[in-house]
Amino acid sequence: MKSVAVVGASGAVGEVMVRLLAERNFPVGSIKFLASERSLGKSIEFGGEKHPLELLTAEAFEGVDIVLSSTPGSISKEFSPLAAKAGAVVVDNSSAFRMDPDVPLVVPEVNPHDVANHKGIIANPNCSTIQMVVALKPLHDAARIRRVVVSTYQSVSGAGQKGMHELWSQTEAHVSGKDVPSPSKFAHPIAFNCVPHIDDFLPNGYTKEEMKMVHETRKIMGDNTIDVCPTCVRVPVLHSHSESILVETERPVTPEMARELWSKAPGLTVLDDPGQLVYPLPASARDRDDVFVGRIRQDLHNPNALLFWCVGDNLRKGAALNAVQIAEELLKLDPVGA
C-alpha cells in the first residue's frame, strides 16, 4: 500500500484524479489532500471518508510515497522538488518540468519504460499532446512518421473551472438576451465563437500551447526528427478535445492498415463508419478512458499521408488518467512496496 498526496485536489483535474484513484482501486494506504491557504476549511471525500484539505508545505510531504500534483507551474517549481527531496515521487501535471532533460515525460501507452529513469519527478504531458501521441505511436512503429500537421479544437475545461464558467455565463446571457459578460479567462468571448489562441504568443508567431505539442511530441516519441506543425484553437465545447491530424510517413499506410494497427493498440478505440454517421465526438468521449479515432482517409495526392480525426477527454486521459497510469507504472517498479 502507498501513502499518497494529491496537490490541487479541488481543481478540475484534481477532482478527476481523486475519483480515478478510487475507480481503479489504486493501493492507497493513506492519503492527504494539499492546497493553498484559501482552500483550507474545505474537505475531499475519498474511501467513504471526508479528508480536510491541509496546507501545502514542505513538511506535508514527509512519509509520502507518491504525489499527484495539478497546480500552476510556479507552484510546481517550488513544491515538486521539495516533495522529491522528502522521498516522494511526484507526477507533475504542470508544464514546469516537461522539457527538463532530467525529468521523464511519459504517456504509458507510448513510453512507459521512461518511468524508470525518474529522479523524483515525472512530468505529465500537455492534454492535446497526450491524445495525439497515443494515436501516433502505432503509426510511427509501423511506418515512421516524418511530419504531422494538426489543428486542435480544445474544450474550455482545458482552462479549468474558470474556463467552463465563462462559457456557461456567456451562453446564458446570449440565450436570455442580456449583456454578455466580458471575457476574463479567454482573449475574446468564447460562446458561439472560436478563438485561435491558447496560451501566450511567441516571437515565431506560434503560441506556447502549439510549441508544447512540437517539443513534447518529439520527447515522448523519442525522435527529434518528427516535424510537428500545430494550430491550437479554443472552441465552445465544455469537455473533450478534438484534433484534425495529417500524418506523413516514410512508408505508405492505408486506412485499412491504420484501422488494423489502432484496433490492436492500447488506449485506442476506432470509430470509423461515416456511412452510418459513426465517428468520434467530444460529447460522447467525456468520462471515457480511451482516445478515439475516425474519419480515417488517404491524402488525395500523397500515398504516404493519412488524415484522421482524434478525440479524447482532456481532463481524463489528457490529464488525470495519464497521471494515475504513471503512478501505476511506478507500482510495477516497486511491487513489494505496493
In 3D space, the residue among 233, 138, 144, 242 whose CA is nearest the CA of residue 194 turns out to be 233
Q: Which of 127, 232, 239, 310 is catalytic?
A: 127
CA distance 256 to 37: 55
How many helical (H) and strand (E) elements, i.e. helices and strands, does the chain have?
Answer: 8, 13
The reply to whether 241 belongs to the active site is yes
Q: Which of 118, 140, 239, 241 is catalytic?
A: 241
Which residue bears the cell 456557461?
168
Angle, vertex CA 72, rays to CA 150 and CA 245, nearest 5: 5
Cell numbers describing residue 71: 497546480
With a CB cutoff of 8 Å and minimum separation 6, the contacts of 218 are: 224, 226, 228
Cα-based torsion angle of the residue sequence 255, 256, 261, 263 in order, rounded to the nearest 10 degrees = 110
> What does the DSSP 8-state code read for residue 319?
I
**Amino acid, res. 133:** V
Q: Distances in Å between the alpha carbon of 116 and those of 77, 121, 259, 266? A: 22, 11, 31, 20
Strands (E), 173-289: 227-234, 241-249, 268-270
Long-range contacts of 31-37 (CB under 8 A, 24+ apart): 31/3, 31/4, 31/5, 31/6, 32/4, 32/5, 32/6, 32/60, 32/64, 33/5, 33/6, 33/9, 34/5, 34/6, 34/7, 34/9, 34/60, 35/7, 35/8, 35/9, 35/10, 36/75
Cell numbers describing residue 60: 506535508
Side-chain half-sphere exposure of 188, counting CA atoms within 13 A: 11
Strands (E), 214-304: 227-234, 241-249, 268-270, 291-298
The reply to whether 127 belongs to the active site is yes
Residues annotated as catalytic are: 127, 241
